[in-house]
Amino acid sequence: MASTPESPGRHKPAVVDGLLLLNKPAGMTSNQALQKVKRLIKAKKAGHTGSLDPAATGMLPLCFGEATKICAYLLEADKTYRVTARLGEATDTGDADGQVIQTAPVPELSREDWETAIAAFVGDTEQIPPMYSALKKDGKRLYELARKGEVVERKARPVHIEEIRLLEVSGTRLVFRVHCSKGTYIRTLVEDIARSVGTVAHTARLHRETVGSFRAEDMLDMSGAEKAAEEGPEALRARLLPADAALTGWIECQLDAVDVERFCGGQAVSSRAAGEGLVKVYGPDACFLGIGELSADGSVAPKRIFKRSAAE
């Protein structure tokens, strides 16, 4: 999670709780996008989850106030991307911002041949992270080493590709949609697909369509955020989603009134929920209390507690 300092302005920063699904524009880092929206919404505390490369666009969940506690769980979510690959050219960064370091002829394949090639990557697989990534080696970001011309050994990491669907193939242009697990490097996937058919490629365009259960139609463009903020920060705050919207599909655990204070005070309490693992916990008034861990005996222990009310 990244955070930004408070910004001076006509409205003082306030305690703002909730999630905003920003359609991040190209040419802006994830933190720059967060910084700008944080100023617009006049929030005291903010963070983002699931960084996008500066050249990439699409869904960037911005978390404000209490919702920042949900960031770690969003990092675990599956994601969907629309990918445009440029075949025949490899770059040092794996995307269009880099320098071309290799060219190769593109084989003349039918659409069916391409569908067969990309289908081979569906399922559990391993990826070697690119040098131009934020992973660390001996305390240094890999991209910092890469900019100095250094190449270090990287261990392959397991990822899961749920689905790849070919959308378009024409000459050197290949477009597909991929539903994948956290930690998947699309630039590496593009390079691996190209290599499997005897050529090279780089990611020319990348757009993230979904994160977890969040829908693409719920995103707000930066221009939309700016327009809403012209009416004052309250207008933009009205677009926020509640923090528990990030936990759709989780088991719901309802507590009796007598157990609410104990749970919020850090104690495990009994519940009527069945199962084991992380659950979203509510009080009798349907107020979201936080994230708990459910045991086989029916008790639920607090993991992340959310304040029951926040001053606006």
Which residues are 157's β-sheet partners? Answer: 127
Pairing of strands 57-64, 18-24: antiparallel
Q: Any residues with CB less than 8 A from the CB of 196 and at least 6 apart, and which?
A: 117, 120, 121
Are 294 and 253 in contact by the 8 Å Cβ rule? The answer is: yes
Note the helical H segments in the chain: 30-41, 71-75, 111-119, 142-147, 186-196, 222-229, 233-237, 257-264
Instruction: Return the amino acid letter for 163.
Output: E
Q: If phi over 0 gives left and psi between -120 and 50 gives alpha, with beta otherwise, what is residue 225?
A: alpha
Which of 207, 283, 212 has the alpha carbon at shortest distance from 245? 212
Question: Would you call 53 a catalytic residue per the annotation?
Answer: yes
3-class DSSP assignment, residue 265 = coil
- How is 122-163 classified by DSSP, letter by letter? -EEEEEPPPSSSS-EETTEEHHHHHHTT-------EEEEEEE
Catalytic residue, candidates 53, 92, 95, 259 = 53
Read off the tokens for 44: 């005291």
Task: Give the residue numbers marked as catalytic.
Answer: 53
